[in-house]
Amino acid sequence: MKVQSLAVAPTFGGTATTNAMAQAGGSGQPFADPGQTAYALAAGLPGRPYATSLIGGAGNVAAALLGPRDVVFGTAILGANYAPDGGGESLTYSATSTFDFGFRGDLALGLIGYDENSFAGGLGFELIALTVTIDGTTILNQPFADISAAESFFTDNAIHLGAYSGLVDLTLGYSLTANGAGGFGFDFAIGGAVPELSTWAMLLIGFGALSFVAVRRGLTVPLSREIEP
C-alpha cells in the first residue's frame, strides 16, 4: 500500500499556504477545514474505527464500504480556500490524493460530505472539478459551475468505479476556482469487498486440481536436463 498527497496554491502578489499529509493506518485527520488555501490529508488502510467515524451517518457510503467483507483502502480530506489577499483575481487551487494497492473485485468511491465556508449566494465561486484516474485512465471528470449542484454531489454519494484485478493506481484530484472569499472541502473513502475464506479455499482447491491434472498429463517443465524414461 502506498499513499501520496499533493496540495497546490498559486499566489497573486501575496501569500498562500498549503497542507499535504499522507499516513499509513490508524486514525486520519478529523473532517474539518484546516484553514490553508489548499489541503490534502490522506490515510492509507485506515483503522476500521476511524473509517466508520468518518463515514458516520452517510448511509449510502456506509452500505457500499462498511459491510462485513468490505475493506477501506484509503480515506482523504481535500479542499481549498480563497486566499485572503487574492485581490479578487480568478485563482485555481488543487489537491490530490493517490493510492496504490492490490485488489480483486468491485471498487467503490464514497463521497461522504462537504464543508463549505462562505460563498454566500454563490458569490466568489466559479468552478469545482473532480477527477478520478485509475491506472492512467480518467474514469470520472465532473465539473460544477453551480455550488448547489456540487453540494448535492458530494453528499453521501457512492460511486461504482468498476471491477479490477491486480495492482490499482488510483488518483482523486480536486480543484477550486474562485475570485472571492470562500472555501469548499470534502471527505471521501475508497474500498471494496474481499472474497470470503470459503471462496479462497475453493480457488486454492481449483489451482491444486489443475496442477494435479497437469502432472498426470506430463505437462511439468524440466528443471535443467531431460530425464530418461
| Residue 90 domain-assigned (yes or no) | yes
Report the C-alpha gap between 93 and 227 in whole angstroms.
67
Strands 38-44, 18-24: pairing kind: parallel
| Residue 173 domain-assigned (yes or no) | yes
Domain that holds residue 120: 2-195
| Residue 210 domain-assigned (yes or no) | no
| Residue ranges with strand state E in the chain | 2-8, 18-24, 38-44, 70-81, 91-118, 125-134, 137-144, 157-178, 182-193
What is the four-CA torsion angle of 67, 56, 169, 141, rounded to 10 degrees?
120
Q: What pLDDT is recorded for position 77?
A: 98
CA angle 3–98–35, rounded 5-degree value? 90
- State phi, psi for 214 to the nearest 5 degrees: -60, -40
Report the C-alpha gap between 125 and 120 in whole angstroms.
9
First to last CA, the chain: 49
pLDDT tens digits, one per residue of 13-53: 778 999 999 999 999 999 999 999 999 999 999 999 999 99
Task: Record the pTM.
Answer: 0.84
pLDDT band at 135 (very low <50, low <70, confident <90, very high): very high
**Residues in contact with 150: Cβ distance below 8 Å, sequence separation at least 6, in sequence order:** 114, 128, 144, 184
| Residue 209 domain-assigned (yes or no) | no
| Residue 88 domain-assigned (yes or no) | yes
Q: How many domains does the chain have?
A: 1
For 155, the grid coordinates are 453528499
Q: Are 5 and 94 in contact (CB under 8 A)?
A: no
pLDDT tens digits, one per residue of 177-191: 999 999 999 999 999
| Residue 211 domain-assigned (yes or no) | no
pLDDT tens digits, one per residue of 64-112: 999 999 999 999 999 999 999 898 999 999 999 999 999 999 999 999 9
For residue 1, count other CB atoms closer than 10 A to its CB. 12
| Residue 9 domain-assigned (yes or no) | yes
| Residue 220 domain-assigned (yes or no) | no
Report the C-alpha gap between 131 and 138 in whole angstroms.
7
Q: Are 87 and 181 in contact (CB under 8 A)?
A: no
β partners of residue 3: 99
Q: Which is nearest to 101 in space by CA: 199, 188, 3?
A: 3
What is the four-CA torsion angle of 153, 158, 160, 165, rounded to 10 degrees?
130
